[in-house]
Structure 1
Amino acid sequence: MSLDQNIKILIVDDSPNNLMSIEVALEGGGYGFSRALSGREALRVLLHDQDFSLILLDVKMPIMDGYETAELIYERDSLKDIPIIFITAHDYEEAAMFKGYRAGAVDFIRKPFNPEMLRTKVAVFAEIFRKNQLLKRQEERLKASNEKLVILNAELENRVNERTAELLDLNTELRALNLSKDRFLSVISHDLRNPLSSILVSSEFINKHAAKITEKQVLSLSGIIHKTAKEILQQLNDLVDWAMKQREKSKFNPCKLDLRKEIDQSLELLRSYANQKKVNLENRVQPEICIKADEYMLRSILQNVITNALKYTAVGGEPIIITATELAEEVEICITDYGIGMSDETLRTFLDFKGNKSEHGTLGEQGSGLGLLLVSEFVSQHSGTITVESQQGVGTGFKFTMPTFQEI
């Protein structure tokens, strides 16, 4: 029950007049009422509606008295937290009160009741209920926030450690690196300028209207800033990866590689992403197929293409399948997905391999398009070829060739 709803009270008494009297006495207190003329009827009400803040229960009722009713109510775990105030025509005898408290009572009110006394006692329990509900919600929000922070901190720490290690390796290499300036400037001017403008506009609004900005506006604007900052970070990461892999091309070192094992290693690195999308990765390459390739470049090709296939496969979609066919002096590797596929126009753009910004994935994943450009260049460095077949709504097959390893 949300905090802005009425406090719901179940009144149980075998006399309709008593039910009416209690409701009249509590009228105007912001309460909602449900009635029951017997203990059994009260149990039936609670069977269908357990969202009560308080039960006012008459002690003396035919067939099943208030004590028996209370004991049956508290047998259910979902009802144990609802406080019960007994209403009795008897004096507060010690034995009777002990029996009532043992049954679960939190208080007694004697008939004929004093309306002001009834209102006061009910108000106390209503306020306790409100505060408990508020504390519960605050605890739930705090728990959820802490869980998110733990996950985010772990992810951030891992990401920082990974990037720190990569940047340390790149530190000496970046001095001599030619960064393909035209492409970089295009990405920066188009893909970073727009999101940075969104951050500036949102932060400027918060800065100017800090004194009177609403919580809803803060949530909306902070959401924009967070989402946009993540996009910028991803694009900056893509640029760093691009710089590193461009440099790696000068270290082309082809050697004998067991294709099936290399694919297995690449799939392990992508298993977390595949699990997130609930998509299986199936390596159907036959054992003992060997190629002559640069291990780093092959892994980059596989990870970029398979990541792209995962990106455009729906959550819980069909498996992504990797196969290989031995040709005369080459091995053709095929990565097939059954995702959203591409239209003819999108496929033409895709085959340009110019690093254009890619389409959003099925979970809103974004990319700069630089990964596909790397794939094209790495395959070309092995004197290989690329072919892509795709049909919208059916899926995509991405094929590339690598030279077969020839024993001398």
Structure 2
Amino acid sequence: MNKVILILLLSLFFKPSIIVSQEKKTEEFELLKNELLNISDNLDNGTFIKKAITFFSKREWDSTLIYAQKQITMQKSERLNNLSHFIRGYSFDQKKILKEAEIEYTLISEDFYFHNLTNVLLGVLILEQGKYSKAVEYFERVIELPNSEFKFIEKNTIKHNLGLCYLHLKKFDKAENFLIASTKFFEEQKDTIELVGNYGDLATLYYEQYKDDLAIPYFKKAYNLAKTTNDFYSRFVTTKNMAVVEENRKDYQKALNFKKEAAQWKDSLNNQNRIYEVAKKEKEFAVAAKQKEVDLLQVENKLKETERKIFLYSAIGLLLFLGIGAYFFREKVKTNKIIAAQKETLDELNTTKDKLFSIVSHDLRSSVNALKSSNKILLDNLASKNLEALENLLHKNSTIVNGAYGLLDNLLNWALMQTEQQYFSIEKQRLFIITEHVAYNYKPLLLEKELNFENTVSKKEFVQADQESLKIVLRNLIDNAIKFSQPNGFIKIYSSNTIEGFTNLIVEDSGLGMSDATRLKLLDDSVLLNKKEHEDIIGTGLGIQLVKSMIKKNNGKFDIESELGKGTKMIVSLPKTVLDG
């Protein structure tokens, strides 16, 4: 009966593990960590698995599990999924959630880089659950591999674990071979902790076969060696086993002394376990506090995102002004983290947006006020039936409305471009037909201002462009030419070929012209004019910015030639094409 008690004690106290000594455990984890970090260096920034590996290297198992699961949910590639399952299995193993660890490991495919290591880890998990035959299957898959394959695991530790499996399966010959082989290795390495376990396992092997003369020396070796360590668990187990051995040998005094000593080590072990438990609770509390902080930040981010959306939808109702605002703030809405470079870009966009809002709002207000005043005068003249004055006022009102409409039309097209909602199709276009069609709509304004108009664009010129956006470009250029021309002046539209592969479409007027400083500002992609060179003419620069954007989208070029008081040439260069046949 006593011998049975001893064997049960040994089965209870000596548990298999891959790495027993803390130094070896730390060393082999560092090897695995560095290998994973090397893999991470070749992964894209911002991926969940890259974050998971970062937390893995810090032994933050809960965060590792969360981000590895996010990577699996994405189902990006089998390689990344294998890597995610591996570090999740390892993390569950460290948290002693063995069933979940086993599930994760079994989901890894055979071509995975760490597949051999996975078999070893699975074998240990199965062994710890008492499934010895199944554990042998996993260990046997790797035991014959060359030593070069054992980068993260000591091969002799696997031999030790196989010995334990065969010991539990009562296959004593196989158990003895593996246990003796691993014991010799650890004796050469002078690995004290491993030797305590190996000596105890060999003692159990012989004692179970009633070979007391072989078993007892190993019990003593395990006991004496354990006394040289600071491992309370090893001291308690070896001392308890010696008490049982001496009791079986009828030396009750020695058995009593060993029991007292074992009780002391058990108390020390319990104290140590309590310390570990307190440390574990403190860590869990810290993790919970960190998670609470993360949750709070997520709530704050969601509130900020909601506020931005409310601002966006409110502004859309104000004459589509937030068509522009949506463009400038789009990147801000998409991300919760604003780095310094993004903030600088956003500030610049906000400045341009505010300037545009200010200018457009001022010009619209001026137009509305002018229309309001004109209508009041119109009503007074209507009462007096002054038909000549009525006609002049109606022409004036028409001009004001046309200007305001043009401004809003440009604003709408600008907003559609910035939000990428505008349909765009580049095809072969006959340049003369498009210019003639657009110019036809301006004949009443040309007659009203007594301007001579001439369209000499070559009828053989074909360009690659989107028809609707090209019409918008022409409307803005002709509208500006009329706006800045004096009565009895001229406007010409013609084509030339001065750049290889491009056709130049030129809108020339004999109007007020502009200074070189103004010309350069108009060519600047980010500038909106806030100071008018001609105070009696409404101009925001939005039309020219729209023209430049649409020309660029048509793969074209834009230039201006002008001199103050001597007219202006607006030059649009578009990719040319040759008519088939």
Q: TM-score, normalising length from structure 1? A: 0.44
Which protein, 1 or 2, shows the higher relative CO under an 8 Å CA cutoff with sep ≥ 6? 1
Structure number with the higher strand fraction is 1
Q: TM-score, normalising length from structure 2? A: 0.32
